[in-house]
């Protein structure tokens, strides 16, 4: 999937529950994910715990040139917190759009269109 993302001329953001401790350097899957993201020029923007177990499970992944700001990890609404962020598309002074995805929501078929 990551090798196909650079063909898109618009920002692509991958969000969701990874079901792994992406903040745990001893987790082989987390290390592989971090290596994969680095090799494709992507970054994981959530850097604090998002689960009641105290680890980072939830992801906001985008290319390094995608303007993601105001990442807010707060308020448990289940065993996960609500993660909110702002993505700036186009001219920063004229267009700001925000999307909120609730923990546990099936995002496999969700598409966010920014006008």
Angle at 68 between CA 97 and CA 77, to 5 degrees: 75
Confidence of residue 91 (pLDDT cuts 50, 70, 90): low
37-85: per-residue pLDDT in tens?
Answer: 999 999 999 988 888 888 888 899 999 888 999 998 888 888 888 888 9
Q: Tell me if 14 sits within 8 A of 59, measured CB to CB.
A: yes
pTM of the model: 0.72
Question: Distance between alpha carbon 33 and the CA centroid of its chain, in Å?
Answer: 13
Distance set, CA 73 to CA 28, 35, 46, 79 (Å): 25, 24, 8, 13
Q: Tell me if 103 sits within 8 A of 58, measured CB to CB.
A: yes
**Domain boundaries defined on the chain:** 11-101
Distance set, CA 13 to CA 5, 21, 67 (Å): 10, 20, 10
For 84-104, b where at least 16 C-beta lie within 10 A, e where not — what string?
bbebbeeeeeeeeeeeebebe
Confidence of residue 100 (pLDDT cuts 50, 70, 90): low
First to last CA, the chain: 25
């Amino acid at each position: 999937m990551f090798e196909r993302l650079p063909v898109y001329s618009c920002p692509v953001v991958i969000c969701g529950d990874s079901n792994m401790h992406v903040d745990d350097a001893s987790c082989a899957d987390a290390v592989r994910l971090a290596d994969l993201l680095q090799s494709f020029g992507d970054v994981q923007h959530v850097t604090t715990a998002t689960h009641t177990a105290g680890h980072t499970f939830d992801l906001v992944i985008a290319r390094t040139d995608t303007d993601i700001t105001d990442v807010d990890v707060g308020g448990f609404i289940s065993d996960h917190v609500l993660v909110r962020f702002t993505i700036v598309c186009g001219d920063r002074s004229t267009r700001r759009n925000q999307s909120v995805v609730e923990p546990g929501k099936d995002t496999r078929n969700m598409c966010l269109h920014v006008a």
